[in-house]
Amino acid sequence: MLHVAGGVEIRAFVTRVHDLEAPPPDHFPTLEEVEASSVRCPDAATAARMIERIKAVRAEGDSVGGLIECRVRGVPAGLGEPVFDRLEADLAKAMLSLPATKGFEIGSGFPAPCSRVPSTTTSSRIAKVRCARGTNRSGGVQGGISNGEEICFRVAFKPTATLLRRQETVDVHGQPAELMGRGRHDPCVLPRAVPIVAAMGGAGPGRSLDCATRPGSAARSNSDPALLC
């Protein structure tokens, strides 16, 4: 809907499995690059190592988690609200509603508290006929409102809870017991979660765009082309 309505593109991909992390892509990854490997990581070399790690973990009856990054480009400036309906809050709610999610960060994210102001703020410059950002540490959202730059956020997924090996637990009577998973259980949910994150990644901008285009909406003024700078 977003792509048809306004040319918005959404791309999600795996960036980390356990302690294996792919280098940040220097471009907006294509769908072909993401789907080139079964782990859905656009960096071929890292994807190969991730696959081997997942196979090794499966053989041990264990599981691993990791990170999925999502980028959204083509979002107009002015979507969102400064308080209750902040764009990043809508995105966080959408992502953390997914099973197995344990964290959400946007822009500079969790490393930001360890940095100083110049390395966390987003600078601006004039590009063609609009105001563009020289950096994008805010992840495309400032003050709860989209600034016209690419929205970039990451979602943390925990390891699968069901293990194919014996675990200590208690029964309904509170007595010691053993639990062992059976059947088919993924040792890593990340590859399956990529299209879900991409689909839910449109929830925040989509909701804000819907509100902004409704007649009489106060949010219409935020997305006025005159306010792109």
Per-residue pLDDT reduced to its tens digit, 139-189: 899 989 989 899 999 999 999 877 667 778 888 888 888 777 666 678 999
User: pLDDT for 8-56, tens place per residue?
Assistant: 899 999 999 999 999 999 999 999 999 999 999 999 999 999 999 999 9
Q: Tell me what pLDDT residue 210 has.
A: 61
Over 70: is that where the pLDDT of 87 sits? yes
Residue 224: per-residue pLDDT: 47
Residues 103-112 have pLDDT tens digits of 999 987 777 7
Burial class for 12, CB neighbours closer than 10 Å (0-12, 13-18, 19+): buried
In sequence order, which residues have a C-beta less than 8 Å from that of residue 38 and are 6 or more positions away?
A: 51, 191
CA–CA separation, 148 vs 165, rounded Å? 49
pTM here? 0.78
- Asked whether 110 and 102 are in contact (CB, 8 A), the reply is no
φ and ψ of 161, to 5 deg: -75, -30
Q: Cα–Cα distance between 128 and 211 in angstroms, integer?
A: 29
Per DSSP, what are the bridge partners of residue 26? none
CA distance 74 to 76: 6
Q: Where are the alpha helices (DSSP H) in the chain?
A: 2-6, 31-34, 44-59, 87-96, 190-200, 203-212
Residue 100 has pLDDT above 60, yes or no: yes
- The one-letter amino acid code at 128 reads K
Between vectors from CA 119 to CA 113 and to CA 123, what angle results, nearest 5°? 125
Q: Say which residues have a Cβ less than 8 Å from residue 8's Cβ, sequence separation at least 6.
A: 2, 72, 73, 74, 75, 202, 205
Buried b (16+ CB within 10 A) or exposed e, 76-104: bbbbbbeeebbbbbbbbebbeeeebbebb
- Please tell me the predicted confidence (pLDDT) of residue 113: 75
Which residues, in sequence order, are CB contacts of 37 under 8 Å at separation 6+?
A: 44, 47, 48, 51
Amino acid code (one letter) for 126: I
pLDDT class for 91, splitting at 50, 70, 90? very high
For residue 68, the model assigns a pLDDT of 98
